[in-house]
Amino acid sequence: MKIIIVGCGKVGKATIESLIKEKHNIVAIDHNPKVIEMVTNTYDVMAVCGLATSLEILQEAGVSQADLFIAVTQNDEVNMLACFLAHSLGAKNTIARVRERNYNDDGLRFISKQLGISVALNPERLTAESVFNRLQLPTSVDVDTFAGKKIQLLETVLREESKIVGLTLAQIRQKCSVPFVVCAVKRGKQVHIPTGPFVLQEGDRVAFMVKGTDTNKFLRAIGLVQKQTRDIIILGASTIGYYLAKTLADNNYNVKIIEKDATRCAEISETLPSSISIIHGDGSDHELLLEEGLKTTDALIALTGRDEDNIVIALYAQNHKIPKVVAKVNDSHKYAIVEKLGLPTPVNAQKIVADIVRRYARALNNTLGSSIETMYTLMDGSAEALEFVVLFDSKLIGNKLKDLQLKPNFIIAGIIRGKETIIPTGEDALQIGDRVIVIATGRHLMVLEDILR
């Protein structure tokens, strides 16, 4: 597909990197000549320097032939206007980054409809939702949900004390009465789709698929559950911090925000619920953290503007045995450092947006008997979890899973059938309208039928 990306900042670059892997024809637009030079030197893309609200620039980029137009500059109004112009000039689909929190859901839907915007994305809000999902399950490294949380994908690193270290998957199934699927295991740099004889080891990064209603029971059964998270410290009153604090307060969590900018403290204190404590101070000051209850808190979320500060603070909190620690790391090149330090997977707004855009682009490119509803990357980008809808002409309908001839590195990990949630066995078969979750390693899956030999 031809895709035009406007704005080559952090979100734009992450989106370009993600879509290049999908072999799309990409044109980048940015008003800064130095940024355009960097993009053309780094990526195999065409680039145009100029304002995305200029008809001449849009025409030079070939907007009338664009299958997807994505505007992710720092300015909401520029993004929306650029999408409106692109849609008017013939772009088939448009995505706008809209960060302003004063746009409520209803208002944003109305504006998007009027301007021809297919999807409006708020990276900060999406990131806050991702952190909130992690906090629901204190022991999991990462949590992704499918079909309105009917099925959850839990990704965790096994420690020495874990009850399942040294056991085969078959042995774990005998000990655990809760249905589950081990979707993938990352050991070192290699990702496995494991079978029954596979033995789990300390340090393995393991992805489990379970029913949403069984999650806590499952974690207790394999010895990974901790006490429920209630008291939370957030470092940094950023936009992500605002969304996260509000969501937590609305769900009756005890929230404390530490922010070193006095003006920002005053601003957010006027918009957040009074139940949230806002402390003016430097969150990198370990004495302040101890004074504010670090040793007794259930979770610490580091959302300052510096990756290095977030990593150091997260390490400090982890050394104090804080049950849940989350750090925002914008630079994906630091992920390897974070993993070696033993920290949980960091949260990254750019990656979240790039995953959503890639899923949308892949769904647009889809022409066979199924469509992608949801897509997540896991195992630090080495694998994908995709949710498809099975359409009437799919080749998989009616065949037991054990009889399907699947290509290597694919596994069917979950099925949602109406109100029923199924953790599948070999005896299950797909039906029309099923939502099916597939785990893929080392391959980009475009359509459900691609899993067949």
pLDDT in tens, 105-144: 677 778 888 888 998 999 999 999 989 988 887 666 678 8
Domain boundary (221, 247, 270) is at 221
The residues, any chain, with a CB within 8 Å of residue 447's CB and separated by 6 or more, are: 366, 367, 368, 369, 370, 388
> Phi and psi of 242, rounded to 5°?
-60, -55
Most confident of 96-105, 361-370, 399-408: 399-408
H or E segment to which residue 250 belongs: helix 239-250
- From CA 80, how far away is CA 52, in angstroms rounded? 11
* Whether residue 196 is found in the same domain as residue 290: no
Which tens digits make up the pLDDT trace of 230-244?
999 999 999 999 999
Report yes or no: 156 and 206 within 8 Å, Cβ to Cβ.
yes
Q: Per the domain annotation, does 253 fall within a domain?
A: yes
Sign of CA dihedral 381, 317, 342, 13: positive
Which tens digits make up the pLDDT trace of 161-199?
788 999 999 999 988 889 999 999 999 888 999 988 999
User: Does residue 191 sit in helix, strand or coil?
Assistant: strand
* Whether residue 47 is found in the same domain as residue 72: yes
70 has which bridge partners? Answer: 5, 95
- From CA 393, how far away is CA 397, in angstroms rounded? 8
**Cβ-based burial of 329 (10 A; exposed 0-12, middle 13-18, buried ≥19):** buried
Total structural domains within the chain: 4
Report yes or no: 413 and 385 within 8 Å, Cβ to Cβ.
yes
* Whether residue 103 is found in the same domain as residue 16: yes
Q: Per the domain annotation, does 281 fall within a domain?
A: yes
Which tens digits make up the pLDDT trace of 298-346?
999 999 999 999 999 999 999 998 988 999 998 878 877 887 787 877 8
Longest distance between any two alpha carbons in the chain, whole Å = 66
Q: Per the domain annotation, does 138 fall within a domain?
A: yes
Residue 278 has pLDDT above 90, yes or no: yes
Report yes or no: 182 and 218 within 8 Å, Cβ to Cβ.
no
* Whether residue 67 is found in the same domain as residue 97: yes
pLDDT of residue 157: 84
Task: For residue 308, give both structure tokens.
Answer: 């290095």
Return the higher-pLDDT residue of 384 and 280: 280
Which tens digits make up the pLDDT trace of 55-96?
999 999 999 999 999 999 999 999 999 999 999 999 999 999
Q: Per the domain annotation, does 182 fall within a domain?
A: yes
Nearest to 415 by CA among 448, 383, 379: 448
* Whether residue 146 is found in the same domain as residue 115: no
* Whether residue 185 is found in the same domain as residue 262: no
* Whether residue 401 is found in the same domain as residue 363: yes
pLDDT of residue 340: 77
pLDDT of residue 337: 82
Q: Per the domain annotation, does 344 fall within a domain?
A: no
- From CA 169, how far away is CA 175, in angstroms rounded? 10
- What is the CATH classification number for the domain harbouring 100? 3.40.50.720
pLDDT of residue 370: 46
Q: Per the domain annotation, does 332 fall within a domain?
A: no
Task: For residue 275, give both structure tokens.
Answer: 């139940």
Nearest to 178 by CA among 224, 147, 236, 136: 224
Which tens digits make up the pLDDT trace of 396-449?
999 999 999 988 889 999 999 998 999 999 999 999 999 999 998 877 777 888
C-alpha distance from residue 223 to each of 159, 216, 220 (Å) = 11, 10, 5
* Whether residue 370 is found in the same domain as residue 294: no
Beta strands in 346-396 (DSSP E): 370-378, 383-390
Report yes or no: 338 and 329 within 8 Å, Cβ to Cβ.
yes
Task: For residue 165, give both structure tokens.
Answer: 């270290």
Q: Per the domain annotation, does 328 fall within a domain?
A: no
Domain boundary (305, 322, 339) is at 322
pLDDT of residue 226: 61
Q: Residue 168 has what DSSP assignment? A: B
Residue type, 103: Y
- From CA 26, how far away is CA 17, in angstroms rounded? 10
Strand 181-187 vs strand 190-192: parallel, antiparallel, or unpaired?
A: antiparallel
pLDDT of residue 401: 93
- What is the CATH classification number for the domain harbouring 369? 3.30.70.1450
* Whether residue 138 is found in the same domain as residue 162: yes
Report yes or no: 121 and 356 within 8 Å, Cβ to Cβ.
yes
* Whether residue 209 is found in the same domain as residue 242: no
Parent domain of 427:
351-451
Residue 369 has pLDDT above 50, yes or no: no
* Whether residue 199 is found in the same domain as residue 294: no
- From CA 249, how far away is CA 227, in angstroms rounded? 19
Residue type, 248: L
* Whether residue 32 is found in the same domain as residue 63: yes
User: Does residue 223 sit in helix, strand or coil?
Assistant: coil
Mean pLDDT of 23-31: 95
Task: For residue 273, give both structure tokens.
Answer: 């619920």
Q: Per the domain annotation, does 107 fall within a domain?
A: yes
Residue 104 has pLDDT above 70, yes or no: no
Q: Round the CA-based radius of gyration of the chain to a whole number and report it.
A: 23
- From CA 191, how far away is CA 286, in angstroms rounded? 38
Residue indicated by tokens 């049950």? 323
pTM across the whole model: 0.81
Average pLDDT, the chain: 89
- From CA 383, how far away is CA 381, in angstroms rounded? 6
Nearest to 396 by CA among 342, 356, 438, 439: 438
> Phi and psi of 234, rounded to 5°?
-110, 125
Q: Residue 139 has what DSSP assignment? A: T
pLDDT of residue 368: 41
- From CA 377, how far away is CA 339, in angstroms rounded? 16
Domain boundary (121, 144, 175) is at 121
Strand order through the sheet with 277-280: 277-280, 254-259, 231-235, 299-302, 324-327
